[in-house]
Amino acid sequence: MSRPERNLLLVVDDEVDFLELIEQIGEGVGCEVITADSATRFREQLATRHPALILLDLQMPGMDGIEALRYLARQGINASVLLASGMDQRVLASARQLGESLGLRMVGTLQKPVMLEDIEALLMKHLDPGARISADDLRRAIEEHELVVHYQPKVVRCDSDWQVRSAEALVRWRHPSLGLLYPGEFLALAEQSGLIASVTDFVMTDAIRQLGHWRQRGLELSVAVNLSPKLVQDLEFPDRLNRILREFDTAPEQLILEVTEGASLDDPDLVMDIFTRLRVRGIGLSLDDFGTGTSSLTQLYKMPFNEVKIDGSLVADLGTSKAAATVVRAIVELAHNLSLTTCAEGVETAAQFEFLDQAGCDALQGDFIAAAMPAAEMESFIQVWNGSDHASISAERP
Ligand code: C2E
Ligand code: MG
Ligand code: MG
């Protein structure tokens, strides 16, 4: 199951005027809008994109809306679904009920002809929780401990097997009325409002405290924490980090900082200074999301990274693109020639796992192994995973 793309709306309708109208309204409220005017186009769109919201017309020539709902359920599409139709409310309501019984997230119905304001309100409601949170909310959330850290296990090649040796700390916000919010929904706000240092200090403290807890339970792990580009250039950051490490009596070697490539570009001398000091102390530095837009090979040899994270978008293309496979193999080889280790993220299938194993990747992370989970669940996951044999991953999970 793939994660929905934030603010991506798919409109399925055979009336071109209606598609154009929704496109306009959607873009006005900050969505990316993609459309389908036929069953074929509907399936094509879903093969490559992961909408957060689908606005589906129940009656289309050549496609029965109910069959479309079944298709969404069969494919495990993880989007919110809004139904639209010119039929009466009762038909819409029973279609909605059917969608719910198929396990779909049915979020509403729209009776045609639709009111502009109704569509706008529905889109705002279902697409962008980020638009409804403010810096004050976030400040309060930090004070009232609404932020939580989930951990995603990372497996590392050990002889011919793969063992959990590490975890990536990923922040979430348990919002009292909006539910669990993901970093994509509030990190930009944290950066703009100057709260990112507090968020990171919280995540860092939680992760380092957690290391001590796991150590007491006999688990020797390392933990990776994401560092916002803003903080990479904060000269006080290394000192704050040292204080946290000392407070919890943790070896710097157990901490890896993940930074994205773009981060290192603004003031390369300053960043080099900070990175080198961190590395000298033994802290690991990982170049995150390698292979995406801002890639710069220069970063790889100029900055003192010791790990490269191959971006999930490259991993996702492995099965369908020979070129992606070639690029991934080349990254692994290049990294090894530079004495860097490689970690592939977003591993979702056995086939991807096997390919990356063959390609010589050193560490793997992704939903195929496990999605991010509360710290309390890590211990039993590690017991099960590390107690099984993964020398050759078959199509079945352990
Ligand atoms: P990232 O560092 O590249 O983290 C990997 C993201 O991919 C995570 O999303 C993770 O949940 C998701 N993921 C893991 N396995 C799979 C998979 O198999 N398939 C797919 N499709 N996705 C998978 P998440 O937690 O939403 O985090 C998004 C980004 O937010 C992270 O990307 C990271 O850049 C940033 N982030 C997360 N926590 C923090 C934090 O504490 N501080 C800062 N500064 N950034 C953070
Ligand atoms: Mg990361
Ligand atoms: Mg990444």
> pLDDT tens across 190-234, in order?
988 899 999 999 999 999 999 999 999 999 999 999 998 778 888
- Amino acid letter, 128: D
Does residue 4 line the site of ligand 1, with CB under 6 A? no
How far apart CA 290 and CA 308 sit, in angstroms, is 7
Mutation probe of ligand 1 site: the residue of 148, 168, 226 with most atoms within 8 A of C-beta: 226
Determine how many CB atoms are found less than 10 A away from the CB of residue 67: 10
- Amino acid letter, 324: A
Chain position carrying tokens 């710290």: 375
CA 310 / ligand 3 centre spacing (Å): 7
Residue closest by Cα to atom 2 of ligand 1: 226
DSSP 390: -
- Closest to 276 in 3D by CA, of 305, 255, 244: 305
Q: Each residue's pLDDT tens digit in the chain (398 positions)?
A: 456 777 789 999 999 998 999 988 887 776 789 999 998 999 999 998 989 899 999 888 788 888 999 999 998 888 889 998 888 888 888 899 899 888 898 988 888 888 888 888 888 777 665 666 888 999 999 999 999 999 999 999 998 899 999 999 999 999 887 788 889 888 888 988 899 999 999 999 999 999 999 999 999 999 999 998 778 888 888 888 999 999 999 999 999 999 986 655 567 788 888 899 999 999 999 999 898 755 577 778 888 999 999 999 899 999 889 999 999 999 999 999 999 999 999 999 999 999 999 999 999 999 999 999 999 999 999 999 998 877 666 444 44
CA of 203, closest atom in ligand 1:
41
Q: What is the 3-state secondary structure (H, E, C) of 147-199?
A: EEEEEEEEEEEECCEEEEEEEEEEEEEEECCCEEECHHHHHHHHHHCCCHHHH
The ligand placed nearest to the CA atom of residue 191 is 1
Helix (H, G, I), strand (E, B) or coil at 8: strand
| Cβ atoms 111, 83 nearer than 8 A | no
Q: What is the pLDDT of residue 276?
A: 92
Radius of gyration of the chain (CA): 23
Can you list the domains of the chain with their CATH numbers?
5-130 (3.40.50.2300), 131-386 (3.20.20.450)
How far apart CA 107 and CA 122 sit, in angstroms, is 9
DSSP 38: S
Does residue 57 line the site of ligand 1, with CB under 6 A? no
| Cβ atoms 313, 294 nearer than 8 A | no
How far apart CA 311 and CA 273 sit, in angstroms, is 26
DSSP 240: H
CA 199 / ligand 2 centre spacing (Å): 15
Exposed / middle / buried, residue 196 (Cβ in 10 Å: 0-12, 13-18, 19+): buried
Distance of CA 91 to the CA centre of its chain: 37
Residue closest by Cα to atom 4 of ligand 1: 170
Torsion over CA: 342, 344, 349, 352 (sign): negative
**Interhelix angle for 65-74 vs 39-48, to 10°?**
20
Q: What is the pLDDT of residue 392?
A: 60
Q: Let me know how long the chain is.
A: 398
Can you read off the two tokens belonging to residue 165?
């040796």
**Interhelix angle for 350-359 vs 322-337, to 10°?**
40
Does residue 256 line the site of ligand 1, with CB under 6 A? no
Does residue 229 line the site of ligand 1, with CB under 6 A? no
Chain position carrying tokens 């507090």: 198
CA angle 279–281–285, rounded 5-degree value: 30
Q: What is the pTM of this model?
A: 0.74
How far apart CA 205 and CA 203 sit, in angstroms, is 6
Helix (H, G, I), strand (E, B) or coil at 53: strand
